[in-house]
Amino acid sequence: MDKLLITGGTKLDGELRISGAKNSALIILTSSLLSNEPVTICNVPHLHDITTMIELLGCMGVEMVIDEKRNIEVHANTIKQFTAPYELVKTMRASFLVLGPMLAHYGQAEVSLPGGCAIGPRPVDQHLQGLTAMGADIYMEDGYVKASVKGRLKGAHILFDVKTVGGTEHIMMSATLAEGRTVMENCAREPEIVDLADCLISMGADIEGQGTDTIVVNGVEELKGCRHRVIPDRVETGTFLIAVAATGGHVKLKDAQPDHLEAVLLKLADAGAEISCGKDWIELDMKGRKPKAVSLVTSPYPAFPTDLQAQIMAMNCIAEGSATVTETVFENRFMHIHEMNRMGARIKLEANSTTAYVEGVELLKGAPVMANDLRASVSLVIAGLVAEGNTIVDRIYHIDRGYEQIEEKLQLLGANVKRIAA
């Protein structure tokens, strides 16, 4: 099992290109199941989760062609079976979202209940309630969701009990081939949902309201092929911006999308960063200064994202002053606190509390630490970059799920980091 060895103390400086968004690429791969024609997806990041999705589609008989630029051409009409097995779905939650497209297109699907990061309960009841309202016959057996429909799904009025990104994406995809109109309310508004809708529209879907609380889908009889470029990964963008700010450095990120990160950029400006943006780039300069501590509360988009909470906590550990970090989206998303405290951080978390209290220290100390989930793992990398001495981050397979060539990109900014075998 690989580890990362980080020698801290370097101010990061340079330019980087941001990869395609993992969460967009995954869901758009599943949406290709709705089309009888080839769908070409461009700007797909080279990540373990993407490989898992490709393997999942392949095991169902879907043929794919991947070129040297990592563009993926999906031929879903070659599908031979409609079962997504436990062995693959358990490792990645997004795999579950093949259920709706198969059901909408082929009238049947059998998908294992999902897995993914252990960051608290993320039930799929909203997904299943929506599909049931559209006429699907759904039951559970041996850990699998088994679904079927006679004819086509039917348009329905769907009111989500809570904002759910996966649920919004799942029902929106399924509604594209349903008979009649589907009105979805209390929808999530994340940019990845808009990206998926844009791809579906290119395939011939009739969708309005993406990016707002209410999405309306008028079902069509079939979807065609298309070519779609995945949006930049806003979480990768935010991660590198926070890492550079923590080290007092400077960076220009290319192929980025600033309007997807307004809440994050405001917090980094509060931390003392000088920030400038263009249509597809972001530049951050700390002028060698230590960041100031910033308090925040995570909430669904467009508020501060939960997927960047651990990273900014790492920055706060060595910032001037103290701050509170409140997590409202997921339970169990403070698992990085114990590891950071082992490096000399001063973070307090009361029992059953959703708020962590962070007092900045002059310097962290390098230590062996262990990653527990995708975003927590990269926060420990940031802690290692600002620590004195060597930090070894174990279980970095979590990082490889969501960050493309993380050590190479950090090396381009001058970081002393390398991958080592266990």
The residue type at 197: A
Closest CA to 240 of 321, 139, 315: 315
The one catalytic residue among 42, 59, 117, 317: 117
Sheet holding 144-148, edge to edge: 83-84, 108-112, 144-148, 137-141
- CA–CA gap between residue 295 and residue 357 (Å, rounded): 9
Question: In three state form, how does the secondary structure of the chain look?
Answer: CCEEEEECCCCCEEEEECCECHHHHHHHHHHHHHECCCEEEECCCCCHHHHHHHHHHHHCCCEEEECCCCCEEEEHHHCCCCEECHHHHCCCHHHHHHHHHHHHHHCEEEEECCCCCCCCCCCCHHHHHHHHHCCCEEEEECCEEEEECCCCCECCEEECCCCCHHHHHHHHHHHCCCECEEEEECCCCCHHHHHHHHHHHHCCCEEECCCCCCEEEECCCCECCEEEECCECHHHHHHHHHHHHHHCCEEEEECCCHHHCHHHHHHHHHCCCEEEECCCEEEEECCCCCCECCCEEECCCCCECHHHHHHHHHHHHCCECEEEEECCCCCCCCCHHHHHHHCCCEEEECCCCCEEEEECCCCEECCEEECCCHHHHHHHHHHHHCEECEEEEECCHHHHHHCCCHHHHHHHCCCEEEEECC
End-to-end Cα distance, the chain: 5
317 tagged catalytic: no
Provide the annotated active-site residues: 117
